[in-house]
Amino acid sequence: MAEAVVGSLLKKIGYALVIEVGKSTLSILTTEVSAMNKFFDEMRNIQAELEGIRGFLHDAERFSEIDANIKNFIREIRTIAFDIEDVVDQFTYKLNEQKRGVVAKTIKRVVHVKTWYKLTKMLGKIKTQLVNIQSRKNRYETNGIVKRGEPQEVGRWRTTEYELFKKEGDLVGIDENKKKLMEMLIDDESKHNVISVLGMGGVGKTTLVTDVYKTVKKSVGGCAWITVSQTWERDQLLRKILQELHREDPNGITIDGIESMDFRSLFQTIQNYLKNKRCLLILDDVWTTDVWHCISDILPEGNAASIILTTRNREVALLAPEKQIMEIIPLKEHHSWDLFCKTAFKKNNTNICPEDLTLWARKIVEKCEGLPLAILAIGGVMACKEQTEREWKRMWEDLEHELAHNPNIEYVNRILQLSFADLSSNLKNCLLYCGIYPEDGYIYAFRLTDLWIAEGFVETNGRRTQEEVAEEYLNELVSRCLLHVVKRDVLERVEICSLHDIIRSMVVSKSDEEDFFVVYGSSTHSPRGRLRRVSIQNCNLASASNNEYSLRSIFTFGDKISLNSLRSSKLLRVLYLHGTTIEKLPEEVYNLFNLHYLGLDGTGIKELPKSIGRLQNLQTLSAAGAKITQLPNELTKLRRLRVLSVYCDAENEFIGVMPPKQIWKPKNLRVLGVIKATDEIIRNFETLTKLTRLGISEIRSEHCEVFFTAISKFSHLEALSVLAKDGEVLQLQALNTSASEIEFTGQVERTSVPQFSRSLQYHNSIRKLKLSNSGLDENSFSCLQEIRSLRFLDLTRYERNELCFHEMSFLMLRKLKVKEAPHLEHIEINKGAMPNLEELSISKCPGVKDLPRGIEYLSKLKLLKLGNPDRTLVERVEKEMTEEQVSEDRVRILRLIKFA
């Protein structure tokens, strides 16, 4: 983590040194040039020292266990890096606060001469500190560092070899997965049957595979169970395999002279032994794909071999065929409770929780969220505690602290920190950032990635946008089982994610260690020391920092918040006020030159003043669901603005916001909406070619040709939402877009639908289509049914009395919603229609009094959701469920019904 801080700082210094050429040569004051040159000299010296430090930290942070002296050294480096960052950011801040006008600028420069000397003096002191700590540590030598794989082996018996000695009765909740894994092993048709078992650390992968291994090893000719871990080495791995083969068959293979064998000897010895044998090889805890590439050739040609990999990384899991990948999820609630009781109450021989402890025991189990490693560890600790309500309540209240510091369960964090240690420095920052959100809270992916960009965590190489790289980071954390996906969008991209509670505990603990962020969860908390980021959850924080150049990010999660701390936060990058009741921002906000992200979603903010134009570094302004009805023209001065997400929440009705004149001027805009259309905006819209998401309202019929022609040139557009002005009709002939999500609200010209449908079929990229109040008839709707790429269709306020899906219609559709259709009476599904439909939702359609005709044809249907159904429909369904003479297809459909 210190490496990530230093790396980020070096980028800032590089940027500041680039400024040197332009600013010092243009100055009209000799004294200013002299002062700035001295500052830049000190900065270059610091830069050289930091380059050496970064090399040391890169080596040091590859290891998980380091001695106390090295830890103190890294802590000192991190503190000094923060000091340097403060100086560099102060320099940039002061340099850009000069006012326009020659006289005013000259006066400002005279004042700044003292500032440059002051900052130079500060850098000089910092450099002296660096020299002092370097001499104490002998110029960054790595003596005292213990390699990452070694210390873990001391305690790995808990989660690897220990599994070999578990009794059958100790295992809980693995029966179903064991059956599936055994079925995969039976497949002898493939020469090499590779199976991957994927899941987060501590979820029970090793337990499952070990149980299967013990069951089947006697029926194979050669078998070996190997823990690979992160620090594997080729020859040593082969020695482990040879030793395991000998352990299982001591008379069949010798290991004499194994330590002196070279790679070729080891390879040939193993291969000769396995020849003509059906063998089973377990590779437990695989972190990289090169492990498989190293040993795959060791298996003789022609013999049946099964290889099971356990891994936390989806990239490794993909070494197996898709059908041979088993992803292990946390235990279900009842299995979690059984496992905890077996562990915590084993000494009373009943495995039953006393009634007076049930409340706190349930809370503890809930905290574990089905993670067997945590359940076993905490259950083992509770088995040694007094069985009193007071003691168990105390344990629950201190559980997060216990996970980080109690030596009996601290290894849970250590196991999870292996996953953390394997991340790049940027990904470490990104994962720690997720801990800022409240416990059990959902994290919206688009918001999270915007925040990562604002914080400077996302690096690009010129070929890809920051948004693309940030999404790649997100997918990497999901792939490594560190972030849990709650919901995916129609393109299967992560839409909502969350942190497992135990991983969050690890993240919070690591953040405390690294001074990454601090959480304040009640009014009794008061800040201490210098802070970088604060997460304020259901409390007020009067003053967040005692250093005006220290704080970088403020997050609030709660209704009320005091913003007094802004008076001492001049270099703030992120101000996240989502959901607060604040109605007006203090003027100090508009002096935050360094602000990159301003989050006002769901607040009571009613207007933004002209002074918002001073936020020259602002990248994201998010005010969705606030009370703002009009945006000031000064917003167009924000040339770095990437995201402008606004719509007004007026009495629970979302409406577009009147945009500033010349909204097309910020050329970097990628997200825009929901804004009201004007004639001038429509004429100039074609300049916003970088847009990926657009929402616009008040579109009139006369706008459509010019507007949709412009939209058709947007090659990056992914999502389009168009709301017609009341009484206006949307003409779609000119729209030719490759967007994957399209939403129309308002009447659509029926004769324009065939051309629009053909364009969608041509691009073959549309995945989601939402039509509200469209007024389509049978013929125009039939045109849409030919769109093969569509996965999700939402018909809101459909105005006809019959809805018919023809044969071969919507071939790829997975989800269909029909809602708020007051005139709809009949839905008919012909055979061959929607063959891949998995979910059908019909809600707020009072005229629908029976299930759709032909619904039995939907062979892949998994859920039939009926929301606010007419009583007649409910009674018919209930009656049909009790009848005996009902076809199997009909029974299958009836079992899928869920009333809401």
Which of 12-21, 719-728, 807-816 has the lowest average pLDDT?
12-21
Tell me: cis bond preceding 103? Omega within 30 of 0 counts. Answer: no
d(CA 290, CA 297): 12
Distance CA 371, CA 381 (A): 16
Per-position DSSP letters for 356-402, written without gaps between them? GGHHHHHHHHHHHTT-HHHHHHHHHHHTTS---HHHHHHHHHTHHHH
Sign, CA dihedral 871-873-876-877, equals: negative
CA 709, chain centre distance (Å): 35
H or E segment and range at residue 708: helix 704-711
Tokens, residue 888: 């199997």
Q: How far is Cα 603 from Cα 899, in angstroms, rounded to an integer?
A: 34
Q: Is 251 exposed, middle or buried (0-12, 13-18, 19+ CB in 10 A)?
A: exposed
Measured between alpha carbons, how far is 608 from 631 in angstroms, rounded to an integer? 7
Give yes or no for residue 152 having a pLDDT over 50: no
State the maximum Cα–Cα separation within the chain, in Å, rounded to a whole number: 99
First-to-final CA distance of the chain: 48
Under 8 Å between Cβ of 714 and 689: yes
117 vs 65, residue with greater confidence: 117
Reported as a pLDDT band with limits 50, 70 and 90, residue 47 is confident
Question: 360 with 396: CB under 8 angstroms?
Answer: yes
- Does 68 have pLDDT greater than 70? no
- Is 80 exceeded by the pLDDT of residue 161? no
Contact criterion met (CB below 8 Å) for 545 and 560: no
Per-residue pLDDT at 106: 47
Full DSSP string of 192-244: EEEEEEE--TTSSHHHHHHHHHHHHGGGSSEEEEEE--TT--HHHHHHHHHHH
Mean pLDDT for 596-606 is: 93
At 21, the pLDDT band (50, 70, 90 cuts) reads very low
Looking at residue 562, its pLDDT comes to: 66
> What pLDDT, on the 0 to 100 scale, is given for residue 524?
43
Contacts of 720 (CB under 8 A, 6+ apart): 693, 694, 695, 711, 737, 739, 741, 742, 743
**Residue-wise over 307-336: b if at least 16 C-beta within 10 A, else e?**
bbbbbbbbebbebbeeebbbebebbeeebb
Per residue, the 3-state secondary structure of 483-507, as one string, reads CEEEEECCCCCEEEEECCHHHHHHH
pLDDT in tens, 714-737: 999 999 999 999 999 999 999 999
Q: List CB contacts of 791: < 8 A, sequence separation 6 or more.
A: 490, 767, 768, 812, 813, 814, 815
856 has pLDDT over 90: yes
Tens digit of each residue's pLDDT (9 = 90 or more) over 245-264: 888 888 888 888 888 898 88
pLDDT at 566: 66
> Which carries the bigger pLDDT value, residue 427 or residue 4?
427
Per-residue confidence band for 542, with pLDDT thresholds at 50, 70 and 90: low
Listed in order, strand segments (DSSP E) in 324-480 are 325-327, 443-444
- pLDDT recorded at residue 155: 41
**Mean pLDDT in the chain?**
84
Kindly provide the b/e burial profile for residues 157-190, where b requires at least 16 CB atoms within 10 angstroms of the residue's own CB. Answer: ebbbeebeeeeeeebbbbeebbeebeebbeeeee
Q: Residue 641 carries which side chain, given as an amino acid letter?
A: L
d(C-alpha 553, C-alpha 618), whole Å: 14
pLDDT score of 652: 54
Residue 458 has pLDDT above 50, yes or no: yes
Nearest to 646 by CA among 676, 680, 673, 627: 673
The tens digit of pLDDT for each residue in 765-779 reads 999 999 999 999 888
Is the predicted pLDDT of residue 110 greater than 60, yes or no?
A: no
Q: Which residue has the higher pLDDT, 350 or 479?
A: 479
Question: What's the whole-number mean pLDDT along residues 854-877?
Answer: 95
Region class of 89: left (phi > 0), else alpha (psi between -120 and 50), else beta: alpha
- In this structure, are residues 74 and 57 in contact, taking their beta carbons and an 8 Å threshold? yes
Q: How far apart are CA 74 and CA 94, in angstroms?
A: 30
Token duo for residue 735: 């729209």
Residue 519 reports pLDDT greater than 70: yes
Give the model's pLDDT for residue 137.
65
The DSSP result for 802-815, as a single string, is EEEE-TT-STT--E
Contact present, 123 and 43 (Cβ < 8 Å):
yes
Supply 127's token pair: 């450099």
Mean pLDDT of 289-295: 84
pLDDT given at position 1? 58
pLDDT digits (tens, 9 = 90+) for 739-767: 999 999 999 999 999 999 999 999 999 99
Task: Report CA torsion sign: 876, 879, 881, 887.
Answer: negative
Q: Specify the DSSP element, H or E, that contains 407.
A: none
- 693, 670 Cβ separation under 8 angstroms: yes
Contact 586, 568 (CB under 8 A): no
Q: Which residue, 677, 758, 689, is CA-closest to 717?
A: 689
Distance of CA 889 to the CA centre of its chain: 40
3-state DSSP assignment of residue 65? strand
Name the pTM for this structure. Answer: 0.86
Per-residue pLDDT of 419-448, as tens digits, reads: 888 888 889 889 999 999 988 789 999 999
Amino acid at 190: S
For residue 59, list its beta bridge partners. Answer: none
In the chain, % of residues over pLDDT 90: 46
Tell me what pLDDT residue 148 has.
Answer: 40
- Which region among 33-42, 621-630, 683-692, 817-826 has the lowest average model confidence (pLDDT)? 33-42
Amino acid present at 293 = H
pLDDT band at 151 (very low <50, low <70, confident <90, very high): very low
If one compares 483 and 69, the residue with the highest pLDDT of the two is 483
- Dig out the tokens for 291 from the structure: 């492990």
The neighbour count for residue 290, using CB atoms within 10 Å, is 12
